Structure 1
Amino acid sequence: MNDVQSSSVPLQPARFSTGAVPERDRFDAWREYLRPVADLTPIAHRQRKASIDLATWDLGSFAMCQESSSGTRFSRTLRRVKTIFADHWYLFLIKEGANWVVSDGGCSAEQVSRGTSGQVGFYSLGEAFHGEMQPMEILMLFIPRDQFARQAGTLDRLNNTIIDTARGRLLSDYMLALERRLPELTKEDVPAIVRATEAMITACLAPAPHSAEEAREGIILSLGERARRVVQSQLSNPKLTPASLAKSMGVSRSVLYRLFEPHGGAARYVRNTRLASAHRALCDFAETRQIQQIADSFGFTCAQEFSRAFRQRYGYSPSELRADCSQSVRRLCGQTTEGGRTLDEFLRTTA
């Protein structure tokens, strides 16, 4: 098949369904499938037997998920934020049903949002939260943080809010229109869809600042995102230090300190980012390298140092994590999936 024929092939979602799973195992299968997002707990016994259907449409820079569920309690603990690395935002459009969410940390600590049918909420997988949703029909749009690096500070302040404004309703309309067109889209349509979605999100959630103070704050926040991107690009360099990072960015050590002060300093941020990246690799069932080879690729040249830092950060060893992730993959093998990149694969490959 040539490139023209390949690009005109209709998009196919990765589908997950528990319809063919024994009733007693359905909720557990759903819980396992959504582990990268949150831990699920049934509200009532009948929910364990209900069938769950979820379709993930891979739009390259975004992933749109359609889900029909029986409702659940959910939580994303601070430990889960650390151990399952997915620093994404997501828009949560309620087509039917209702939910409530409580922030358990970060800038939005203790903030509560309550959504009902027709409303869209904005959440971050980089923050801890817990809540509950009723039997629901929902539409979710997952957004890699790097896709909106310049607007990151503005979007972070929207974490765990219901966008109940004219712009929020416009965004809801756009998501529904995009959902209706998904079955008609081909691979060659994806770049245009990405550009349109970026423009819509920016216009509705992060419009240009209207004052000098807002603009100044935006410059500071953008500098922080730039620092983050430099760190990500140099994780394999064992000589990456706060001094070399400041030099790469052309800023002073004092400016760098202020940027990373909320993270405990630049050195701690670099170390934790390396550990999180190694954690992701160890959870990747397609990753065949030895543990020390993975550690080397993220700047850890000493096996003992890596193992000690990893256990201190997560409470278990790299080998224990790899064994646990292998068991999780085996548990998923009997479930019904088809199509392209799953939600888990999207989160792992776009974080």
Structure 2
Amino acid sequence: MADSDPVRCDDPAIRQIPQFAIPRDGGDANSIAAFGMAVRDVFHIARVDPADPAEVETLAWHLGTAMFGRFAGPALRFDRPATLVASSGLDHLLVQYYETGGFTGDAGGEPVAVRAGDICVFDLADTLSTTTSAFCNLSLLLPRASIAPIVGDIASLHGMVVPAGSAVGGLLCDHLRSVARRLPGLTTAEATLAAHATVTLTAMVLASERRREGRSRTPSCPRSALLRINRLIDAEIGNPALDAERIAHVAGVSRAALYRLFAPAGGVARHIRRRRLSGAALELADPLRRVRVGEVAQRWGFATDRSFSRAFQQAFGIAPSDARERCLAFFTPGNGASETDPRDFAGWMRSLHAAGPAGDQP
């Protein structure tokens, strides 16, 4: 099979690793409605022209702490407003390679445009609004913590476009096409290794392109209050004393304003707790790492092992010490998400940043 050959949703070999598929449905609204439900933690979607065929084809694989997929559809609007940023809790980078089609719009209030062959980057801790033409893209959803050591200032990547003519960008395009072609034949262990290699290559390419463009965000650049405070929380997430009073003081806002800002997320305390549990669950869900529960608890700001275990058990219904076993069970063929239920796919999204082995959002 050539690299340009499409990956078919009905390929039986794809069942070797957890996968999710929404096939084209012949023109009724079922697939686009299912797609909207599946990605509801990432975007609000709408058709640009109601007369366009309501067909969206989705094929995605869960690779542990990353998700990879091919998505194709008609002209669509994708919106991620501040309320969704706050309520979804996603702490990821979305990297998309547009095989066909493109879009225009804004990322964090800055204009962005993508053509076929380009790679675009979105920080899901920020807002975006785009309008596509008919498209087919390869998408990679990456946890922030997995690329931060290489990339550093992830916020500066939001809305970055790696043009089709870029030499190092071309390497990443070729790699993503190869991953899409090869994944159906990989075992779960091989897919995990492929995910780690893909994360590393992606981070290095993005860091290289950012240096070439001279992109950076300084304190003088305009930012939403939500984004600025999320950065503060990220920087101090390992501090057990981090609370609303400290955040309000350091950010220079009133506690009342802070509570209003995080009301869609159920409050600032719940948001901090979810970020901590998300990071801890990601570490415990990684089959290639063996980290002591106590080390994980300390790194994510829990005062004691006991308080961490209690919070983890309450959120996920499983003890941290059992999380790896549940994660391994999830990656046994037949135990992943169903092939067509968009609610399960939304659970995949949440599992990358929150539930990991248990499948529930805190």
Give the C-alpha shift of residue 202 in structure 1: 2.8
Q: 1:230 aligns with which of 238, 262, 279?
A: 238
Checking the alignment, whether the CA contact within 8 Å between 1:13 and 1:338 is kept in structure 2 is no
**Residue of structure 2 equivalent to 1:274:** 270
Checking the alignment, whether the CA contact within 8 Å between 2:68 and 2:139 is kept in structure 1 is yes
Tell me how far apart the structure 1 counterparts of residues 341 and 185 of structure 2 sit (CA, whole Å): 15
RMSD across aligned positions (CA): 4.1
Give the letter aligned to residue 46 of structure 1.
A
**Residue of structure 1 equivalent to 2:22:** 16
Larger Cα-atom Rg:
1
Counterparts in 2 of 1:261 and 1:77: CA distance versus 1, 3 Å:
same
Residues paired across the two proteins, number: 256
Tell me how far apart the structure 2 counterparts of residues 121 and 58 of structure 1 sit (CA, whole Å): 21
Tell me how far apart the structure 2 counterparts of residues 152 and 36 of structure 1 sit (CA, whole Å): 24
**Residue of structure 2 equivalent to 1:344:** 346
Tell me how far apart the structure 2 counterparts of residues 339 and 195 of structure 1 sit (CA, whole Å): 27
Q: How does 1:121-132 map to 2 (within 5 A)?
A: 121-132=120-131
Tell me how far apart the structure 2 counterparts of residues 72 and 208 of structure 1 sit (CA, whole Å): 28
**Residue of structure 1 equivalent to 2:94:** 90
What is the CA deviation profile of residues 257-311 of structure 1, one whole-angstrom value per residue up to 9, with x for unaligned ones? 99x538989x9599626247669x9xxxxxxxxxxxxxx949xxxxxxxxxxxxx
**Residue of structure 1 equivalent to 2:160:** 161
**Residue of structure 1 equivalent to 2:179:** 178
The two structures have a TM-score, normalised by structure 1, of 0.61
Bigger relative CO (Cα 8 Å, ≥ 6 apart) = 1
Give the C-alpha shift of residue 37 in structure 1: 1.3
Give the C-alpha shift of residue 181 in structure 1: 0.7
**Residue of structure 2 equivalent to 1:317:** none
The two structures have a TM-score, normalised by structure 2, of 0.59
Give the C-alpha shift of residue 76 in structure 1: 0.8
Tell me how far apart the structure 1 counterparts of residues 243 and 31 of structure 2 sit (CA, whole Å): 48
What is the CA deviation profile of residues 77-101 of structure 1, one whole-angstrom value per residue up to 9, with x for unaligned ones? 1111112221211111101111113
**Residue of structure 2 equivalent to 1:101:** 105
Q: 1:42 aligns with which of 34, 38, 47?
A: 47
Checking the alignment, whether the CA contact within 8 Å between 1:52 and 1:68 is kept in structure 2 is yes
Tell me how far apart the structure 1 counterparts of residues 253 and 183 of structure 2 sit (CA, whole Å): 40
**Residue of structure 2 equivalent to 1:196:** 197
Checking the alignment, whether the CA contact within 8 Å between 1:150 and 1:225 is kept in structure 2 is no
Checking the alignment, whether the CA contact within 8 Å between 1:100 and 1:131 is kept in structure 2 is yes
Q: 2:62 aligns with which of 37, 58, 61?
A: 58
Tell me how far apart the structure 2 counterparts of residues 149 and 46 of structure 1 sit (CA, whole Å): 43
Give the C-alpha shift of residue 242 in structure 1: 8.1
Tell me how far apart the structure 1 counterparts of residues 254 and 61 of structure 2 sit (CA, whole Å): 37
What is the CA deviation profile of residues 323-343 of structure 1, one whole-angstrom value per residue up to 9, with x for unaligned ones? xxxxxxxxxxxxx83499954
Tell me how far apart the structure 2 counterparts of residues 276 and 242 of structure 1 sit (CA, whole Å): 9
Unaligned regions of 5+ residues in structure 1, if any? 1-8, 218-222, 244-252, 282-295, 299-335
Large movers: runs of 4+ above 4 Å: 207-210, 223-226, 239-243, 262-265, 267-271, 276-279, 338-343
**Residue of structure 1 equivalent to 2:224:** none
Q: Quick one: percent identity of the two aligned structures? A: 19
Give the C-alpha shift of residue 208 in structure 1: 12
Are residues 1:69 and 2:37 paired?
Answer: no
Unaligned regions of 5+ residues in structure 2, if any? 1-14, 219-230, 278-309, 313-337, 354-362
What is the CA deviation profile of residues 231-265 of structure 1, one whole-angstrom value per residue up to 9, with x for unaligned ones? 6xx6xxxx75489xxxxxxxxx9xx999x538989
Checking the alignment, whether the CA contact within 8 Å between 1:71 and 1:134 is kept in structure 2 is yes
Counterparts in 2 of 1:202 and 1:52: CA distance versus 1, 3 Å:
closer
Tell me how far apart the structure 2 counterparts of residues 120 and 273 of structure 1 sit (CA, whole Å): 36
**Residue of structure 1 equivalent to 2:305:** none
Checking the alignment, whether the CA contact within 8 Å between 2:19 and 2:339 is kept in structure 1 is no
Counterparts in 2 of 1:192 and 1:57: CA distance versus 1, 3 Å:
same
Tell me how far apart the structure 1 counterparts of residues 258 and 150 of structure 2 sit (CA, whole Å): 24
